[in-house]
Amino acid sequence: SLAHQKKTIHTLEPLKAMVTTVSEECTRQILALQEKEKDEINMLKQEKQHLLKFIDNMKEEKNSLQTQVEHLRTSVAEEYARYLNEHGARKLLLAKLNDMHNERLDVTRHPVQDVKGEDVVKLTLALKIARQDLTKTQVKLNTMIADYGDDVSRRDFESLEKKYSDLLEETKTLQKDFDQLHTEYETLLEIHRETAEERDNFRAELQRVQHNCTPRPNWAKCSEVIAGGADRWGCLAEGKTSDQLVDVLLEEIGTGALKEINGFPGWGKGDKVPVYLRYEGEVKNKKLTKRDVVNILKDVWKEKIALEQQTGKRSSLPEFFLSYLQKKYGDAAAMEWSYTLYENMRLCRSNHVLSSFYDVLTGKVGEEQYHGQNQLISNLQKELAACDSSNSGSLTSKQFRQEADSFPLKRKESVQELVDASRYKLDSTEDLIDYISLFKEDEEGNAGPFVAKLRNQYVREKQEYLRQLKNKLGALTEVSAGDLKTAFCTIDPDIDDQTLDTYLGLAYQVRREQPDQEVVPVETALQRLLAGDVRRVGPSPGEGSTAGFEGE
């Protein structure tokens, strides 16, 4: 039996260990749950305390309100009693006054006094009835005060409703303004962001350009090597850009070198050689001054215009140029003069007389453009002279602006440029403009800033006109006469048939009796129109794009 018990004990030892382990685990779980519940219990206790405090506060507030209500009730009762007493006293006073008035009337009417006992009985009965009526009225008044004490009158209600409507409308207006301002603010923020990005890009581009480009040259050093010194270089460089100064410097160097050359090699007698340069062998250099060249070229233009007016036919400038030289200097010396004039014109690009004659002579631009510019300048000069009723040669700034505004197709900016160019030698206080001096030329044929600005605007307006034409043609690479005619009529609705035929003739280099089915590349047509006298006839139906076609 002992051995069996020991065996049983040995068998139960693992169970005892397991029970111990399970007991410990349960104990830990119980402790963890107690710890967790302890936090929750603490929170609930805190919430309970808070709610109890809230309840106490509410009770205190309730007691305070009850005290106030009792106090108000007592005050209302006292006021009611006082008003009631005053009301009774007033009734009695009124009754007494009425009685006294009646007695006075009765004494007046009936000298003999009646029995007073009847009056006292009546008064007592009337007073009793009056008090009953007062009690009923007071009860009814108290009932109405209790029932309608919180109501407002219709007048106050309508006034408040109107005020509410006004405030609501004002709120809607303010909300609408706020939404609009918010939208504008968002737009301004977007514009600011884009502007900041653009500014950063420009700054980076400026830094890159400043890093890559060469330093700006000191043009004052050129006065040391230019004939005439600093005074002449100052006159040549006035108002010119760096690119124009390079042209002036090259022109001075070229003309200086040209004077040292004794002869020019002939170009030969091929068909591709211009008729006025067809010569084989050495050609003598006449070594002309710029003033001599300008006078000769002006005389050529003068003789050519006179001949065309006499015959009524337009002659070719290259052929007339050669015939003029042969007629004036003889066949033997004509080529010497021709080569000398040609080289001077080729080098002197800053002089308008030489450069314009060279462009027409070489076919770069049409002769019509030269005559068109001169006609424009001549017309303006005549208009200014017609406005000068006193023939003093001067106009006020107001008169000058009115005449400048007479150009129907010029923009306000262009008119302002002309006015500014007319006053370039005047002080700000001077008002008279010597319009005659604006059109004068120096001994080398150079015009003043005013005429130069007119010519620049002529070229710029023509380029803008052709930009609009190209934009209207769109993506076309070749254009027919019909399409070009339609495009002209679209961008310039006031153009007449004669002018339109002239422009088409320039673009296709044919007579208008030729078939309209011929097509030419768009760029070729635009270059031919750029070389001719092409101008807008009427006002533009809309502003055209400035991108695309770039003229020289």
Number of H helices, E strands in the chain: 16, 6
CB atoms within 10 A of CB 288: 18
Positive or negative, the CA dihedral 135, 139, 144, 150 is positive
As given in the structure block, the two tokens for residue 237 are 């460089």
Separation between Cα atoms, residue 317 and residue 342, nearest integer Å: 13
Q: Are 247 and 346 in contact (CB under 8 A)?
A: no
Instruction: Decide if 232 is inside a domain.
Output: no
As given in the structure block, the two tokens for residue 70 are 């009792």
In 3-state terms, what secondary structure has residue 148? helix
Instruction: Decide if 18 is inside a domain.
Output: yes
Separation between Cα atoms, residue 11 and residue 18, nearest integer Å: 12
Give the domain extent around 379.
373-545
- Quick one: which of 92, 93, 99, 94 has its CA closest to 122? 99
**Sequence-ordered list of residues with C-beta below 8 angstroms from that of 31, at least 6 positions apart, any chain:** none
In 3-state terms, what secondary structure has residue 279? strand
Last residue of a domain, one of 42, 66, 95: 95
Last residue of a domain, one of 337, 364, 391: 364
Separation between Cα atoms, residue 461 and residue 410, nearest integer Å: 9
Q: Are 435 and 400 in contact (CB under 8 A)?
A: yes
Q: What distances in angstroms separate CA 419 from CA 373, 391, 439, 464, one per listed residue? A: 19, 20, 14, 22
Give the pLDDT means over successive 10-residue stretches in the chain (552 positions): 88 86 90 85 89 91 89 87 82 81 74 53 83 85 74 77 90 91 90 90 84 67 68 69 72 75 85 87 85 89 88 86 89 87 85 86 85 84 81 77 71 79 65 78 78 84 86 83 84 84 80 57 85 80 44 36
Separation between Cα atoms, residue 318 and residue 360, nearest integer Å: 9
Separation between Cα atoms, residue 327 and residue 460, nearest integer Å: 39
Instruction: Decide if 203 is inside a domain.
Output: no
- HEC profile of 431-484: CEEEHHHHCCECCCCCECHHHHHHHHHHHHHHHHHHHHHHHHHCCCCEEEHHHH
DSSP conformation class of 543? P
Last residue of a domain, one of 76, 95, 114: 95
Distance of CA 425 to the CA centre of its chain: 34
What pLDDT, on a 0 to 100 scale, did the predictor assign at position 511? Answer: 53
Answer yes or no: do 285 and 433 share one domain. no
Answer yes or no: do 430 and 341 share one domain. no
Give me Rg for the CA atoms of the chain.
Answer: 56
Instruction: Decide if 106 is inside a domain.
Output: no
**Helix or strand holding residue 475 (H, E):** none
Answer yes or no: do 526 and 385 share one domain. yes
Answer yes or no: do 273 and 386 share one domain. no
Number of domains in the chain: 3
Instruction: Decide if 192 is inside a domain.
Output: no
**If 0-12 CB within 10 Å is exposed, 13-18 middle and 19+ buried, where does residue 153 land?**
exposed
- HEC profile of 402-435: HHHCCCCCCCHHHHHHHHHHHCCCCCCCCCEEEH
What pLDDT, on a 0 to 100 scale, did the predictor assign at position 224? Answer: 65
Q: Are 507 and 529 in contact (CB under 8 A)?
A: yes
Answer yes or no: do 398 and 342 share one domain. no
What pLDDT, on a 0 to 100 scale, did the predictor assign at position 408? Answer: 64
Instruction: Decide if 337 is inside a domain.
Output: yes
Q: Are 289 and 348 in contact (CB under 8 A)?
A: no
As given in the structure block, the two tokens for residue 456 are 């620049």
Separation between Cα atoms, residue 93 and residue 169, nearest integer Å: 55
**Sequence-ordered list of residues with C-beta below 8 angstroms from that of 426, at least 6 positions apart, any chain:** 433
Cα three-residue angle 478-484-488, rounded to 5 degrees? 145
Q: Are 470 and 527 in contact (CB under 8 A)?
A: no
Answer yes or no: do 414 and 317 share one domain. no
Q: What distances in angstroms separate CA 148 from CA 123, 140, 143, 233, 457, one per listed residue? A: 36, 12, 8, 104, 88
Answer yes or no: do 385 and 522 share one domain. yes
**Sequence-ordered list of residues with C-beta below 8 angstroms from that of 48, at least 6 positions apart, any chain:** none
What pLDDT, on a 0 to 100 scale, did the predictor assign at position 494? Answer: 84
DSSP conformation class of 282? E
Answer yes or no: do 39 and 56 share one domain. yes
Amino acid at 293: V
Q: What distances in angstroms separate CA 98 from CA 93, 111, 335, 400, one per listed residue? A: 8, 19, 145, 101
- Quick one: which of 505, 367, 351, 243 has its CA closest to 359? 367
What pLDDT, on a 0 to 100 scale, did the predictor assign at position 425? Answer: 65
DSSP conformation class of 546? S
Instruction: Decide if 294 is inside a domain.
Output: yes
As given in the structure block, the two tokens for residue 455 are 């010519």
DSSP conformation class of 264? E
Q: Are 84 and 131 in contact (CB under 8 A)?
A: no
Amino acid at 530: L
Answer yes or no: do 322 and 454 share one domain. no
Answer yes or no: do 316 and 452 share one domain. no
For the chain, report the end-to-end CA distance as a whole number of angstroms. 132
The b-or-e profile of 472-481 (16+ CB within 10 A means b, else e) is: bbeeeeebeb
433 forms bridges with which residues in the sheet?
A: 395
Answer yes or no: do 411 and 298 share one domain. no
Instruction: Decide if 208 is inside a domain.
Output: no
Answer yes or no: do 335 and 425 share one domain. no
